């Protein structure tokens, strides 16, 4: 079942029908006891409605913070070692890839998150920016993974490569993250063959295309959620990006006007132009 947040309220999409969910706000629904059973109940007791218009879609986020894990794919480890090789980064990405404790960092507050279709921000002081297509976990206030969404951890490779202490500036700025178009609510693990695909269009042509499958993710979603919630509290839950498995070649940087589409099997496609 897929949960959508729109300017007209909350919608549930089952395999066949759309339902309008009323009487509960996003944060309360996100944290309701046994959300899967709750949504089954909504679907079996409500009247189907027309689908919401695509232009009404909002990011599926209420007051949740967005966090991100890094260096969880071999490709990410290797790209980071390359970009920081002149500044001493040769070994710490390698070490965090292999360590028990993952890299987890704060990514965005809800007001820094772009809605589906909304332009993301390219930093004025970066010359090397890339989208990071990431499976994103929807986690409730009890640390339970209730579902999955598509995330874009937009990043500045030059700022991050210059010094790891610049990571917060490379990662967190206005409209630095996008999530959506919905939350795929499921009690099940996603199949390991799940593809996270990215396409970047420039002036009507494909400028980059790539993808990675979930079996390349070095850590499990439960492990990453467990580290995020260790000695921490999230009163209305959190979203956790799980790292990128796709990094374009070193010559590639995003341009204003590029359109980034990220598709994850079973969830949907998140499209954002670059501002
Ligand atoms: O270590 C820097 C960030 C890593 C990251 O965002 C990723 O691997 O996706
Ligand atoms: Mg990332």
Phi (first) and psi of residue 77, to 5 degrees: -55, -45
C-beta 70 within 6 A of ligand 1: yes
For the chain, list the strands marked E by DSSP: 2-6, 9-13, 18-21, 57-58, 65-70, 103-108, 113-114, 129-130, 133-139, 145-153, 155-156, 177-185, 195-202, 205-213, 238-241, 259-264, 268-273
C-beta 224 within 6 A of ligand 1: no
pLDDT reported for residue 16: 93
Phi/psi region, residue 95 (left: phi>0; alpha: psi -120 to 50; beta: rest), is alpha
Phi (first) and psi of residue 99, to 5 degrees: -70, 160
Note whether 159 and 170 are within 8 A (CB): yes
Phi/psi region, residue 120 (left: phi>0; alpha: psi -120 to 50; beta: rest), is beta
Q: Which residues of 185-211 are buried (b: 16+ CB within 10 A; e: fewer)?
A: bbeeebeeebebbbbbbeeeeebbebe
C-beta 71 within 6 A of ligand 1: yes
Phi/psi region, residue 48 (left: phi>0; alpha: psi -120 to 50; beta: rest), is beta
Residue whose CA is at the smallest distance from ligand 1 atom 2: 70
Find all residues with CB under 8 Å of 120, minimum gap 6, and list them.
114, 152, 154, 175, 176, 177, 178, 260, 272, 273, 274, 275
User: How many angstroms separate the alpha carbon of residue 148 from the centre of ligand 1?
Assistant: 19
Number of neighbours of residue 56 by Cβ within 10 angstroms: 14
Q: Where are the domains of the chain?
A: 2-56, 58-273
- Interface predicted TM-score of the whole assembly (ipTM), two decimals: 0.99
Q: List the single range of 58-62, 89-93, 215-219, 266-270 with lowest mean pLDDT.
A: 89-93
- Structure token pair of residue 65: 């913070």
Whether the pLDDT of residue 46 is over 90: the answer is: yes
Residue whose CA is at the smallest distance from ligand 1 atom 5: 70
Nearest atom, ligand 1, residue 103 CA: 1
pLDDT average, residue stretch 182-197: 97
C-beta 103 within 6 A of ligand 1: yes
Q: List the single range of 48-62, 89-103, 139-153, 204-218 with lowest mean pLDDT.
A: 89-103
The residue with tokens 């070649």 is 249
- Structure token pair of residue 93: 């990405």
CA 26 to chain centre: 18
- Residue 262's closest CA among 240, 246, 239? 246
User: How many angstroms separate the alpha carbon of residue 91 from the centre of ligand 1?
Assistant: 15
- Residue 6's closest CA among 115, 135, 149? 115
- Structure token pair of residue 96: 């965090």
H or E stretch covering 83 = helix 74-83
CA 73 to chain centre: 15
Q: What is the pLDDT of residues 69-127, one digit of tens each?
A: 999 999 888 888 888 888 876 688 999 999 999 999 999 999 999 999 999 999 999 99
Q: What is the pLDDT of residues 199-222, one digit of tens each?
A: 999 999 999 999 999 999 999 999
pLDDT average, residue stretch 155-171: 96
Nearest atom, ligand 1, residue 134 CA: 9
C-beta 194 within 6 A of ligand 1: no
C-beta 65 within 6 A of ligand 1: no
Ligand 1 binding pocket mutation candidate from 150, 170, 224, 244 (most atoms within 8 A of CB): 244
Overall CATH class of domain 58-273: alpha beta
């Amino acid at each position: 079942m897929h949960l959508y947040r729109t300017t007209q309220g909350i919608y549930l999409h089952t395999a066949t029908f759309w339902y309008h969910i009323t009487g509960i706000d996003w944060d309360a629904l996100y944290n309701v006891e046994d959300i899967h059973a709750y949504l089954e109940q909504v679907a079996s007791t409500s009247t189907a409605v027309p689908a919401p218009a695509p232009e009404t879609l909002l990011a599926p986020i209420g007051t949740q913070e967005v966090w991100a894990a890094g260096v969880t794919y071999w490709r990410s480890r290797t790209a980071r070692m390359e970009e920081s090789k002149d500044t001493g980064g040769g070994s710490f990405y390698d070490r965090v890839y292999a360590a028990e404790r993952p890299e987890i960092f704060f990514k965005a507050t809800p007001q820094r998150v772009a809605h589906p279709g909304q332009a993301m921000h390219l930093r004025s002081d970066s010359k090397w920016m890339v989208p990071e297509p990431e499976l994103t976990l929807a986690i409730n206030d009890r640390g339970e993974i209730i579902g999955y969404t598509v995330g874009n951890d937009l990043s500045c490779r030059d700022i991050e490569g210059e010094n790891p202490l610049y990571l917060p500036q490379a990662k967190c700025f206005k409209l630095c993250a996008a999530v959506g178009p919905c939350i795929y609510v499921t009690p099940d693990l996603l199949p390991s063959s799940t593809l996270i695909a990215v396409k970047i269009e420039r002036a009507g042509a494909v400028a980059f295309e790539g993808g990675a499958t979930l079996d390349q993710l070095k850590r499990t979603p439960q492990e990453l959620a467990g580290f995020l919630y260790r000695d921490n509290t999230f009163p209305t839950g959190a979203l956790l990006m799980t790292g990128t498995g796709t990094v374009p070649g070193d010559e590639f940087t995003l341009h204003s006007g590029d359109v980034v589409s990220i598709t994850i099997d079973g969830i949907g496609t998140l499209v954002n132009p670059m501002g």
